[in-house]
Structure 1
Amino acid sequence: MFFLVLIYISATSSLWAAQTDSLLQALNEVIAEKESFTEAKEERIAAYHRALRSGNDHNRFQILQGLSEEYKTFIYDSAFAYTIRLQQEAYRLGSAEKIAYAKVKLAFILLSSGMFKETLDSLATIRVKGLPDSIRMDYYSILARACYDLGDFDRDRFYTPIYIAKGNAYVDSARSLSKPGDYAYLYLNGLKSLKNENTAMALADLTELLDSYTLTHHQLAVTASTLSYYYVLHNEPEKAIDLLAQAAMADIRSATRETSAMSALAELLYKKGDILNAYNYIQQAMEDAVFYGARQRKVQVGSILPVIAAARLTNVEEQRRMWLVYSTAITLLSVLVIVFAVITYKQLKKRKVAEKALQEANKIKEEYIGYYFNVNSEYLGKIEAIKKAVEMKLMTKKIDDIRFVINDINLKKEREALYNSFDKVFVKLFPDFVTIFNSYFRDEDKVVLKEGQLLNAELRIFALIRMGIHDTEKIARILDYSINTIYNYKARIKGRSIVPNEEFEKKIMMIHAL
């Protein structure tokens, strides 16, 4: 049962990791389209500006309201300026309801920029009694958020509980003005539960919003970001990362620049060890903070950015060392291919000369095959030229060129090609080797090669012995086997032979080349 649980946990973790990778890939794709979402928002803002310049005082408040709404999570200075103008227009119209509405909107913008005192001062000038429920609900919601944020900022054993208690009271007031079951009611309920460590209730409400409600991009971002805090508290970073990735995508699609999801995601990925994505996302977060222009957000992002940037530099150095290792491997393989080509070319030339001097050629060929395999241990001194070329790519930062070459390396395939080349050369020099070798066995014990096969592992061992390589350790190294494996092969072959064991290798050495 214990092992079944382990298997289940392992499978679940793998599936969650795959889901996380998929979400991060989706986020990267959305980031690539970020400019298009920004352009769409700027077009909406431009339309409001054109309407404002038309001089139609009848719709002036609605136009300023639209501009304030578009700018509030986009650019702080513009949001502040147009909300002040909205407030001035409300005073010009003499509407207490519109004045209160404008002050609530201004408080939201001030709070988003971290100006807690100014937020509370703005809200303190509002007479709530007699206002519509929608304005009153926003009023209490902003007060609740301000108190909760102050509690998080202070992190003091005395003052934080006071701010939490005040935030709870304001949440209760806001909820009383919303309909049970709608977005505002469930979100406020989940937020309050989370702040008061009633995590089970928070999980239920916020998960219900994500799973069962059709949310706007902004609502999705706020809800997913808030729920991620639950999983951080319960030490489930993968789930928190997934939610923050969803929140970040929703923020980008709504062209929201006043956001905390991207920086929180970067911090979790940094702790997880995903430095590359962490660095990319913290850069995005800083870009958004600078674009929005709120001091508090720039300070928050700026506190973690140097840490992630330093880790990235360290990671780049480690990757550079790894690329050097890979480049060395590539160089070795390249030199090996060149050596094989040169050796094959020279051998063909010597085969032609061998017709005139057969005895001398046989001796050269037999020594040459031994050199053919021993050269692998001497190629390190011959890779300097290619190594310099790889280092040049690193110096010119053409790192992708190296990665593409590395990805094409198949050591198993290269080794098989090495063996195949050896087999072809050996069989050409000793065309009767397999026939004579099989004559040392009964019919049922003879070596039967597969179609297209020139030598197998057993024949290759004794082919090397025929070439004068008797050292078992050296044979094992050439064929990439253990010494015990070579001993076992030799013992098994000799045991089946009709030739006495002590005579078998002598018989092998008597097989002549062309």
Structure 2
Amino acid sequence: MRFWVVVFAFFISGLAVSQTQTDSLLLVLETTMKSRKTYDDARQKRIASLKQLLSTPRISSEQVYEINDKLITEFVPYQFDSAVKYLNENLEIATKLQNEFKVNETKTRLGGLLSSSGNYVEAVEMLRSVNAKKLERASLLEYYNFMMEVYARLGFYSPVEQNKSRYNQLFNGYADTLLSILPKTSERYLFINERRARENGDIETSLKSNDLRLNMARIGTRDYSRATFGRSLIYQKQNDLENRKRYLILSAISDIRGSVKDNAAMADLAMILFEEDDIERAHRFIDFSFADADFYNSRLRLIAISNILPIINKTYEQKNEQQRLELRNYLWLISALGLILLVAIVMIYREIRKVSKARNELQHANEKLRVLNENLQRANTQMSQLHGELRESNQVKEHYIGNFLNICSDYIDKLDNYRKTVKKMLLAKQTSELFQKTNSDDFIQSELEAFYHSFDSAFLHIYPDFVAELNALLSSGEQVFPKKGELLNTELRIFALIRLGISDSATIARLLRYSVNTIYNYRVKMKNKAVSREDFEQRVSKIGSFS
């Protein structure tokens, strides 16, 4: 029992992984579909370059034939009418040149193209007109291949059993011929071997041949598109729908990347998705396939798609109509629910109004209380600020009065001592020494330094954090500090006076015994260092205050 549970679980997990891979590939396909123009433009560019060569002056008929041959290669998977046009031109050129090899080569290619587009009568007629003995090996292999393909298709589509048997006999004859002369590792040999094995139910051999074909091809080429499409047919034979889908997707991606309009994978994939009820995707894919078939203008492809297109489109329209009806019903339901909700809201609203009235009265009273509380808090804040400012003002006054009295007393003593010294020197008739003493700046300089020290000491006593707070207003790396042994330097002293309300440069210059220009330069220099130049001095004037 446990064994079968494990087997079942393994099977289910395998299906889940496979489904995930298919879903991922579908997303890649849809992305590739959006880039169709990019791939088509690349082919159109190659075609335009070849057409440009045809306008070369004095070009020979042989050269025109070779260029046309390259154009045919471009148009065969891309646009049926253009391929036929250039094949007919080459047939005419070859006939005029009386080149029997080129005539037969062109007829072979034209016959193969007519066969692939569903023009079987014209294809057989054209291929039978070929003198196979005049063909080189490569063209002869191509001739046998086209003969094999046309009879395979006639055998498949013929409703008359006798004809079907005859066509299948001819198909097998040409297939045997090809198998006898083709290298066993060639793409065409492997294709024929794969096809026969698949039709005979030898799936293992068919898969091996297909593996070799896939290894030889790269995505975006017709060989890859055909190999992956062939793989999908093998899985169809096995009723392995998931793998069939995967390889149809790969074939469709390759067709788009190779700008191949003569394709079958997309239409088959659309039908599978339709049967799986993925109508939206099926509709997009069949429309895409029809656009390719219409552009290519192959009767065979248009007929094949025309059998599927109306079925998918009709179901798509029915589904859309059903969705519209469901949407309309949902709208009616939502409208009814909305009406019920509206009535409920009105009733609830009436009840809410009663509660709201009482709540509003309470809120009104609370609002009045809140306003009164805010006013009280504002008044308290203002009182605190005024108290702080008053305290600061009193401190400044007290300190300055005391400092002023000390300085005045010191200067009276110094003047008295100076007077006594002068009187003494005059009585001693030391006039030359007196002149020398009064002519020296040492006394003034000494007094000035004492004045600076006294001012600095008094100021920093009132504003101990002045230097730190001033530097906080300056940009990083532009801070100003007094030298060792100094309390303040000249720059700091200027802004200390500004903090005390002395902002006039002339007054500051007189107090510090500098020129007005020097004071101005110091102020500008400091402003340039400031984080905020415009309101720097205003900020300085508020250092250490409560505001």
Could you state the TM-score of these two structures normalised by the residue count of structure 1? 0.63
Q: Are 1:317 and 2:324 counterparts? A: no
What amino acid is aligned across from residue 12 of structure 1 in structure 2?
G
Secondary structure at the counterpart of residue 133 of structure 2:
coil
Deviation, 1:126, is: 1.8
1:19 correspondence with 2:24: no
* Partner secondary structure for residue 252 of structure 1: helix
Greater mean alpha carbon deviation, residues 50-59 or residues 154-163: 154-163
Task: Establish whether residue 235 from structure 1 lines up as the match of residue 228 from structure 2.
Answer: no
Q: 2:355 aligns with which of 333, 350, 369?
A: 350
Report Cα offsets for 1:307-360 as digits up to 9, x if no partner: 111111122233334545766788769997998999699759826716989xxx
**Residues 32 and 83 of structure 1: CA distance in aligned 2, closer, same or farther (over 3 Å):** same
Report if the CA contact (8 A) 1:171-1:192 is conserved: no
* In structure 1, C-alpha distance between the alignment counterparts of 2:74 and 2:169, rounded to whole Å: 33
C-alpha spacing 1:68/1:22, structure 2 compared with 1 (3 Å): same
Equivalent of 2:45 in 43, 46, 55: 43
- Taking the aligned partners of 2:235 and 2:333, their CA distance within structure 1 comes to 44
CA distance in 2, matches of 1:345, 1:86: 91
TM-aligned CA distance change 1:17 to 1:264, over 3 Å: same
Q: Determine whether 1:280 maps to 2:300.
A: no
- 1:172–1:342: structure 2 CA closer, same or farther, 3 Å change rule? farther
SS of alignment partner, residue 129 of structure 1: helix
The 8 Å contact of residues 110 and 116 in structure 1, kept in 2 or not, is answered as yes
Matches within 5 A, 1:88-127: 88-127=92-131
Residue in 1 aligned with 2:206? 202
Deviation at 1:47, TM superposition (A): 1.2
Instruction: Tell me: CA distance 1:135–1:205, structure 2 relative to 1, closer, same or farther (3 Å).
Output: same
- Identify the residue that residue 367 of structure 1 maps to in structure 2: none
Match of 1:467 in 2: none
For residue 252 of structure 1, what is the aligned residue in structure 2? 256
Return closer, same or farther for 1:244/1:324 CA change in 2, 3 Å cut-off: same
When residues 349 and 276 of structure 1 are mapped into structure 2, their CA distance, relative to the original with a 3 A threshold, is same
Between the aligned partners of 1:25 and 1:338, the Cα distance in structure 2 is 48
Change (3 A) 1:306 1:355: closer
Q: How far apart are residue 236 of structure 1 and its match?
A: 1.6
What is aligned with 1:362? none
Contact between 1:190 and 1:203, CA under 8 Å: does it hold in 2? Answer: yes
- For 1:341-420, what aligned pairs fall within 5 Å after superposition? 350=355, 353=358
Q: Which runs of 5+ in 2 are unaligned?
A: 363-547
Check conservation: 1:136, 1:177, Cα contact below 8 A: no
1:151 lines up with 2:178 in the alignment: no
Note the alpha carbon deviations across 1:196-227, whole angstroms, 9 max, x for none: 44333222211332246546521111111122
**Which structure 1 segments of 5+ residues have no match?**
358-514
Taking the aligned partners of 1:53 and 1:355, their CA distance within structure 2 comes to 91
Compute the RMSD of aligned alpha carbons: 3.0
Residues 482-504 of structure 1: per-residue CA shift (max 9 Å, x gap): xxxxxxxxxxxxxxxxxxxxxxx
Cα offsets for 1:111-159 (capped at 9, x unmatched): 1221111111111122223532211111111111111111221255444
Q: Aligned ranges for residues 161-200 of structure 1 at < 5 Å? A: 161-200=165-204
Instruction: Tell me, in whole angstroms, the C-alpha distance in 2 between the residues paired with 1:107 and 1:7.
Output: 54
Residue equivalent to 1:266: 270
1:160 aligns with 2:169: no
Q: Secondary structure at the match of 1:227?
A: helix
Q: Is the 8 A contact 2:220 2:256 kept in 1?
A: no
Code of the residue aligned with 1:41 in structure 2: it is: R
Q: 1:236 to 1:132 in 2, by over 3 A?
A: same
Amino acid paired to 1:80: V
The answer to whether the Cα contact below 8 Å between 2:114 and 2:120 also exists between their aligned partners in 1 is yes
CA distance in 2, matches of 1:208, 1:330: 61
Q: Which moved more, 1:36-45 or 1:188-197?
A: 188-197
Matched to 2:16, the amino acid is: S
Which digits, 9 at most, give the CA deviation of each residue in 1:408-445, with x for residues without a partner? xxxxxxxxxxxxxxxxxxxxxxxxxxxxxxxxxxxxxx
When residues 341 and 103 of structure 1 are mapped into structure 2, their CA distance, relative to the original with a 3 A threshold, is farther
Question: Structure 1 residues 93, 177: CA separation in 2 closer, same or farther (over 3 Å shift)?
Answer: farther
Work out which of the residue numbers 47, 59, 65 in structure 2 matches 1:61: 65
Match of 1:470 in 2: none
One-letter amino acid of the structure 2 residue matched with residue 317 of structure 1: E
Residue 297 of structure 1: aligned partner:
301
> 1:115 is aligned with what amino acid?
N
CA distance in 2, matches of 1:73, 1:338: 68
- Alpha-carbon distance change, 170 to 355 in structure 1, aligned in 2, over 3 angstroms: closer
Asked if 2 retains the 8 angstrom alpha-carbon contact of 1:20 and 1:238, the reply is yes
Q: Contact (CA 8 Å) 1:137, 1:173: kept in 2 or not?
A: no
Number of the residue aligned with 1:392: none
Partner in structure 2 of residue 3 of structure 1: 5
Percent identity for Structure 1 against Structure 2 = 24
Q: What SS is found at the alignment partner of 2:48? A: helix
CA contact (8 A) 2:100 2:134 kept: no
Contact 2:217–2:223, Cα closer than 8 Å, also in 1: no
Give 1:29 deviation, angstroms. 1.0
In structure 2, what is the Cα distance between the partners aligned to 1:139 and 1:183?
16
**Mapped contact 2:105–2:135 kept (Cα < 8 A):** no
Between the aligned partners of 1:22 and 1:229, the Cα distance in structure 2 is: 21
Quote the Cα distance in structure 1 between the aligned partners of 2:51 and 2:346: 73
CA shift in 2, pair 1:156/1:235, >3 Å: farther
1:72 matched to 2:52? The reply is no
C-alpha contact (below 8 Å) 1:65/1:86 kept by paired residues = yes
Change (3 A) 1:11 1:52: same
The CA distance in 1 between the partners of 2:198 and 2:162, in whole Å, is 19
* 1:226 is aligned to 2:261: no
Task: Report Cα offsets for 1:363-401 as digits up to 9, x if no partner.
Answer: xxxxxxxxxxxxxxxxxxxxxxxxxxxxxxxxxxxxxxx
